Structure 1
Amino acid sequence: MARRSETISPTAHYTGYVWVRHGLSDPAFATGEGRVLHRLLRPLMAVSGAVGGPTLEGFLLARHRLIDDLLTDAIERHGITQVVEVAAGLSARGWRFTRRHPALTYVEADLPGMAERKRRTLRRASPAGPGHRVAELDVLDETALDRLVAGLDPARGLVIVTEGLVNYFDEATVRAMWSRFARALRRFERGRYLSDLHLATADFAVRAFVQALSAFVRGRVHLHFADETAAREALLTAGFGRAVLHLPASTGLVRVVEAAP
């Protein structure tokens, strides 16, 4: 989950370790920082779970698996065979999907420091599929994504994935980012955008969780849009032709966006 800074966030380490724990990643993706953070948070998460509250691990798994399901649908049912995951961090989704789908082209795009760390991690892991690669990208650069996707095949379609990214930016920045994503996808015969999104709900549990997450990442987590209708309208205004917000079955803390140009 890289932002403008080259520093790797605590959540990148934590999530990387969670994916390994649950069989969603190669052990090479687990960092010492992630192990320590998971150990430190375990008592707090146990208490929250015991009283019926959310846990960070459960929330992360719910959104990650739903994005996986939607990406699988785009590949297997709609024939899209190219993926760009922006700010992939220590996620092993590209590693997993290219092993499962050898014909898939999967580009993980991150800031230079995170991209180089990802390359080192991949060299220690079991081999990814032949279509996997890591590229450097600043998501706030107005033309960087256009330049990246210019080398892909319009006939093969494209999925753009962001996970754990958009709520670190204010609404104006997110709207501009979505416009760039929609513009990039219009180059392709078939396209999808998949992302998690926290809404600006009045629900106490959601707001308390977001405040705790802000403290954990040592930065502000922005809540965008009052409800699903407002979020959908923002996506349509950004240039998408269709947008659906999915609710993961096991948590109400987050929505997963599925949009098409």
Structure 2
Amino acid sequence: MFRRTDAAISPTALYTGTVWRRNGLSHPAFATFAGTALWTGLVGPRRAASLLGAPDLDTMLLARHHSIDTLLERAIDAGEISQVVEIAAGLSPRGWRFASRYGSDLTYIETDLLAMSRRKEDLLTRAELMGPGHRVRVLDAFKPTGPNSLDALANELDPDQGTAVITEGLINYFPMPHVTTLWNSVGSTLHRFPRGLYLSDLHLDQSPGAVTATAKVLITAFVRGNVYLHFDREQDAIDALRKAGFDDAELLLPSSFEGVDPVAGVDRNLIVRATTA
């Protein structure tokens, strides 16, 4: 079990890593004591929030993860994408799972800030989970150019291959100027390739009353920081993505994907799919 570096991993990475592992999506090597403790500590608040009508956090996380997986699988299987960059990958098992499944047919680069990327690479290396084409790199999601930017990382990729960028569980934890910088960077970078796909998730500020307030309090406690709801309407988010340089964009309901149970609240976290061509 991953122990000595748990304290340096963000709460979101610890918690989501535990959710993936508890639901059979991850490898035992991704387990953390701190993540298990955090998950256990939030069982009571999660149950209380559910009684007030708030959606279950784990259910939302699993629906989000499955939906993004499905969209990525479709693009790879259709021959549209053969390179993936996952930003702020944390303890996500997606890189390991997709690299294992597609082997040398797929280049998968997991990125994060320095401390987390070092820990992820160490974890994957020690557990012998690093497959062909699977890499870990340092990347600052909000740095538009220069070393450790997405623009610089793109130089490692084949300019003739379709490329996807994923930012799961990131957008709503940063203020709008950061999101604009990120989206501009992703949109600009993906235009360097024949096909570009951006996958993410987004909470809208459109649900009134105590349910939204309760859910926001729970998520704020979960991330130990602020939660930002940038857009009131889907069209506002789509317009912002187009302004960032994407040729097409849509927000999808997780319940529209096969394998996602349409339980109450699961569609509060919308899936972002934006493309360049």
TM-score by length of 2: 0.88
Aligned to 2:187: 182
Does the 8 Å contact 1:107/1:135 carry over to 2? Answer: yes
Does the 8 Å contact 2:21/2:27 carry over to 1? Answer: yes
Partner of residue 155 from structure 1, selected from 152, 160, 165: 160
Question: Partners of 2:172 and 2:53 in 1: how far apart?
Answer: 25
Aligned to 1:116: 118
SS of 2:25's equivalent in the other structure is coil
Question: Partners of 1:226 and 1:7 in 2: how far apart?
Answer: 34
Question: Partners of 1:247 and 1:29 in 2: how far apart?
Answer: 29
SS of 2:84's equivalent in the other structure is strand
Aligned to 1:198: 203
Deviation at 1:141, TM superposition (A): 1.4
SS of 1:260's equivalent in the other structure is strand
Question: Partners of 1:125 and 1:57 in 2: how far apart?
Answer: 26
Deviation at 1:49, TM superposition (A): 4.5
Asked if 1:231 is matched to 2:237, the reply is yes
Deviation at 1:7, TM superposition (A): 4.7
Paired AA for residue 91 in structure 1: S
Aligned to 1:106: 108
* Alignment gaps of 5+ in structure 1: 1-5
Aligned to 2:46: 45
4+ long deviations beyond 3 Å: 46-53
Does the 8 Å contact 2:49/2:215 carry over to 1? Answer: no
SS of 1:128's equivalent in the other structure is coil
Alignment of 1:125-136 (within 5 A): 125-136=127-138
Q: What is the count of residue pairs matched by the alignment?
A: 256
Does the 8 Å contact 2:45/2:218 carry over to 1? Answer: no
Deviation at 1:47, TM superposition (A): 4.7
Question: Partners of 1:185 and 1:47 in 2: how far apart?
Answer: 43
Deviation at 1:43, TM superposition (A): 3.2
Question: Partners of 1:174 and 1:50 in 2: how far apart?
Answer: 33
Partner of residue 219 from structure 1, selected from 197, 214, 225: 225
Paired AA for residue 247 in structure 1: L
Does the 8 Å contact 1:96/1:128 carry over to 2? Answer: no
Question: Over residues 224-254 of structure 1, what are the superposed CA-to-partner deviations in whole Å (9 max), with x where a residue is unaligned?
Answer: 1111010000000111110010111131221
Question: Partners of 1:170 and 1:52 in 2: how far apart?
Answer: 27
Does the 8 Å contact 1:26/1:125 carry over to 2? Answer: no
Aligned to 1:63: 64
Alignment of 1:238-249 (within 5 A): 238-249=244-255
Does the 8 Å contact 2:87/2:167 carry over to 1? Answer: yes
Question: Partners of 2:237 and 2:8 in 1: how far apart?
Answer: 30
Question: Over residues 20-47 of structure 1, what are the superposed CA-to-partner deviations in whole Å (9 max), with x where a residue is unaligned?
Answer: 1111110111100111112222233345
Change (3 A) 1:209 1:50: closer
Does the 8 Å contact 1:201/1:207 carry over to 2? Answer: no
Aligned-residue RMSD, C-alpha: 1.7
Question: Partners of 1:124 and 1:31 in 2: how far apart?
Answer: 15
SS of 1:155's equivalent in the other structure is coil
Change (3 A) 1:126 1:203: farther
